[in-house]
Amino acid sequence: MATHKGTIGILTGGGDVPGLNPAIRAATVRALREGYRVIGLRRGWAGLVELDRNKKEPQPEQFIELSEEIVNKIGRTGGTFLHSSRTRASHVPRAAVLPQLQSIYQDDVNDLTPEVLKNLEWLGISTLIPIGGDDTLSYAVRLHQEGVKIIAIPKTMDNDVPGTDYCIGFSTCVTRTIEMTHALRTTAGSHERFLVIEVFGRYAGFTALLPTMAGAANRCVIPEHVFDLEHLCELLTADRYSNPSKYSVVLVSEGARFKGMEAMAFEGEEADMFGHKKLGGIGDLVSRKLKEISPKFTSGKKIDVINQRLGYLVRCGNPDAVDSIVPMAFGNLALDLALDGVSGRLVNVRNGRYDNVPIDVVVSRKKVVDVHKFYSTDRLRPMYSRFESKPLFIMTSDF
């Protein structure tokens, strides 16, 4: 029987992004070549919550043993072949608790961490590598506090995991946003309209601010600043007037709010286990209001609006170059730490260099745009000054 240094567990949680499969591949290949066994946990934390230790037959819905052959097939593709979920193991509804455990966990919402710890031991996992955003990794912090050896990899299109300049998925999101915004210009110009594009960004406006800085839009509105709709309309009208093709463009973060809104725009009232309602609709609201307000700045003539939500178009498909390279490095960084016997860390990029920081940073603060440094609340657009010594993505450092 083959002996191993130990067993590495890998999971992906939260929304999918391009770059997850390359990270899984990198960590798996390196771990196998270093003498570890590797288990891929299915559907994020759900795989550990729904695992039945009493079953003797395989449970492929919950976990799979990974090989080079398996991960090499998926390493160049988008999404996550391990699948994902927004399961929060410390807040599981009673209906989602395994039937044989419902006599133990009888509350409406239950902390299944004791079962997760038993399941990790049952699988023989010596080090766990969760790949996710601040929600997924906040539970990883909990497991670290319970004594589990954790090495975390940051992932999220919003680029808002604290402790790192870069999160997997951000570059592809920005690349797609720029490409699609420029593509939509032809229609906006043909009809001489405002172009309103809703992009991701619940609490942080990086995915709207950076494409605007790169020339994708005239203006952007972000979650960090409650904006005035009339002022936005006035600015867009002036932009449209100065454009020979008579159109102008604004990027709207999904978490943005204008004055008079009590809360963000939600698609419905249902919340996930992390307490988040599904965002969506601010672009619709802004578009409708801009059309209503526009006569104030055009001698009574309404300006029509093209309204597009990019949504999943920026998170599907294959990763770009950055989201192929960084995940490879992050996966290997995680194994470097495992080989050194180090845990409780978040691998990161800081000022262009790969590094790692204590995983507790994930729950220590929120990572958002520094409005004072990077955003003009008067012009509703990025500020362009003092680029020397800035990181690659300009406004992503929170150190």
Positions annotated as catalytic residues are: 158
Q: Which helix (H) or strand (E) holds 208?
A: helix 206-213
Strands (E), the chain: 7-12, 37-41, 63-65, 92-93, 109-110, 125-132, 151-154, 194-199, 219-221, 248-253, 266-271, 277-279, 305-309, 345-350, 353-358, 375-376, 381-382
Closest CA to 255 of 231, 233, 226: 226
Q: What angle do CA 319, 134, 137 make, to 5 degrees?
A: 95
- Name the packing angle between helices 229-242 and 282-293 (round to 10°): 70
* CA 140 remoteness from chain centre: 16
Task: Look up residue 90 and give its amino acid.
Answer: S
Residue 130 phi/psi, 5-degree rounding, is -85, 140
